[in-house]
Amino acid sequence: MNEAEELSLIIGDIYDASLDRALWPEAVSRLRTYLGGCIASLVTQDAVTKAVDVHFMLGPEQQFLDLYNEKYFKINPIFPTVMFLDIEQKNVVTDVLPIADLLKTRFSKEWIKPQAIVDFLFSTLEKSARGCTVLMTMRHKTEGPFDEEGHRRFSLIIPHVRRALLIGKVIETHQVKAASLADSLDALSSGMFIVDGTGRIVHANASGNLMVSEANVLRAPGGRLHAVDPVADQALLDIFTTAAGGDAALGKRGIAVPITARSDERYVAHVLPLTSAGRRKAGASYGAVAAVFVRKAALDLPSPPVVIAQQFRLTQAELRVLFSIVEIGGTSEVAEVLGIAEATVKTHLHRVFEKTGTGRQADLVKLVAGYCLAP
């Protein structure tokens, strides 16, 4: 098949997996083939406690997957620096730290090098006050570094995985059969609408009907879905028209459409096409082109690492040392994990003390804890 056909199949698999998590392994397997990577992963990590949720990690031997889950996620050097990167931006290692510094880390020596990984691309798909979700693909030494074509393909995939991630979170379930979408999601707390290419509502769940009746966020004159926010309304209409063309035609549109309610509250709409892959049957049975999920937007609060770095004007190196001290403990242990001299750790730590007005490591732990507990 040509690349357009291959990409269409991958996107279709990704969106189907947003409804049924059991489909992720097949989708990721196809994704790895398309990107030419040995490993593909989607991981959510707490920026402070480093607690990890591995949505999927396909490619490494089971022992390395187990090791990552057990201990190496805590010393992954891209955290917390990755919190500063823009959503959907394609990144390479040097966007968070120099290659030479990465190679010195314990993570590199004990997890990356034994797997003969020589290159990786990643993108932050979601950020919150607690952490972030990162899509990453890696290459083995036999495959060589990612070339320009690999970078281009990764950029094409990023927005579709993000849409699947957001919709998967909204539906709050591990399995929804596409053919019975309406029945499966009627009890969803977020508003859900199945619409045709003109925005005509074919089906709405209870929460969606309530939203329309209140006319604070959405309205439905003549049975067609409209946002009260005129900018969002036009965006949704354009998306519904485009959705008939399938997954690839929709592209980035409809991933997260911001809607301002009459009450000035913020909402967001996610649009899932129903005209491709396993969702085609659902679209045909409903005479529809898309499912629309509308929920109240979470507060866009910066994470503790971002707040602390900005308030105290910490460099990325100082921030890594600060959170390593909080997570790991003593300077000698931090030096071993970061792959730098203990004297260098002490130098960074001294600057952190000066900038934060603290004098002991215990004070730094309390400082970070205070930001984590702040409303």
Residues 112 and 128 sit within 8 Å (Cβ to Cβ): no
**Residues paired with residue 191 on neighbouring β-strands, in sequence order:** 294
Same domain, 313 and 235: no
The separation between CA 259 and the C-alpha centre of its own chain, rounded to angstroms, equals 21
What CATH number should be reported for the domain holding residue 34?
Answer: 3.30.450.80
* Reported confidence tier of residue 56, pLDDT bands at 50, 70, 90: confident
Residues 229 and 260 sit within 8 Å (Cβ to Cβ): yes
Residues 18 and 160 sit within 8 Å (Cβ to Cβ): no
Tell me the C-alpha to C-alpha distance, in Å, between residue 130 and each of 80, 306, 307, 348, 371: 11, 11, 12, 25, 11
Instruction: Give the mean pLDDT of 159-174.
Output: 84
The predicted pLDDT at position 375 comes to 45
Instruction: Give the mean pLDDT of 81-108.
Output: 90
The predicted pLDDT at position 215 comes to 97
Same domain, 135 and 244: no
3-state secondary structure of 184: helix
Answer with the one of 273, 296, 319 that is the final residue of a domain. Answer: 296
The predicted pLDDT at position 184 comes to 65
Strands (DSSP E) along 93-214, which ranges?
Answer: 117-127, 131-140, 191-195, 201-204
What CATH number should be reported for the domain holding residue 328?
Answer: 1.10.10.10
For residue 350 the two structure tokens come to: 């001294």
Q: Give the up-direction half-sphere exposure of residue 170: CA atoms within 13 A in the CB hemisphere.
A: 30
Task: Inform me whether the pLDDT recorded for 186 exceeds 50.
Answer: yes
Task: Inform me whether the pLDDT recorded for 360 exceeds 70.
Answer: yes
Task: Inform me whether the pLDDT recorded for 347 exceeds 60.
Answer: yes
Task: Inform me whether the pLDDT recorded for 162 exceeds 90.
Answer: yes
Percentage of the chain surpassing pLDDT 90?
51
* Reported confidence tier of residue 317, pLDDT bands at 50, 70, 90: confident
Task: Inform me whether the pLDDT recorded for 175 exceeds 60.
Answer: no
Same domain, 35 and 141: yes
Same domain, 40 and 152: yes
Same domain, 146 and 290: no
Same domain, 268 and 348: no
Same domain, 134 and 191: no
Same domain, 63 and 167: yes
For tokens 């859900």, name the residue: 192
Task: Inform me whether the pLDDT recorded for 361 exceeds 80.
Answer: yes
Same domain, 59 and 125: yes
Tell me the C-alpha to C-alpha distance, in Å, between residue 147 and each of 19, 98, 142, 239, 374: 33, 19, 14, 33, 44
The predicted pLDDT at position 188 comes to 82
The predicted pLDDT at position 129 comes to 72
Number of domains in the chain: 3
CA-based angle 99:79:59, to the nearest 5?
75
The least confident of 93-107, 206-220, 300-314, 327-341 is 300-314
Same domain, 215 and 185: yes
- Among 110-114, 129-133, 247-251, 318-322, name the most confident range: 110-114
Report the C-alpha gap between 275 and 300 in whole angstroms: 32
What residues make up the domain containing 210? 178-296
Answer with the one of 257, 276, 296 that is the final residue of a domain. Answer: 296
Task: Inform me whether the pLDDT recorded for 174 exceeds 50.
Answer: no
Same domain, 321 and 250: no
Residues 374 and 368 sit within 8 Å (Cβ to Cβ): no
Task: Inform me whether the pLDDT recorded for 234 exceeds 90.
Answer: yes
Instruction: Give the mean pLDDT of 51-69.
Output: 88
The predicted pLDDT at position 299 comes to 60
Minimal CA–CA distance to 337: which of 345, 229, 80? Answer: 345
* Reported confidence tier of residue 22, pLDDT bands at 50, 70, 90: confident
The helix, strand and coil proportions of the chain, stated in percent and rounded to the nearest 5, come to 55, 20, 30
The predicted pLDDT at position 97 comes to 87
Task: Inform me whether the pLDDT recorded for 302 exceeds 90.
Answer: no
What CATH number should be reported for the domain holding residue 211?
Answer: 3.30.450
Task: Inform me whether the pLDDT recorded for 111 exceeds 90.
Answer: yes
Same domain, 88 and 210: no
Instruction: Give the mean pLDDT of 170-176.
Output: 66
Kindly report, residue by residue over 63-88, the tens digit of the pLDDT.
Answer: 999 999 888 988 888 887 888 888 99
Angular region, 122: left φ>0, alpha ψ -120 to 50, beta rest: beta
Angular region, 88: left φ>0, alpha ψ -120 to 50, beta rest: left
Mean pLDDT of the residues in the chain? 88
Answer with the one of 296, 314, 345 that is the final residue of a domain. Answer: 296
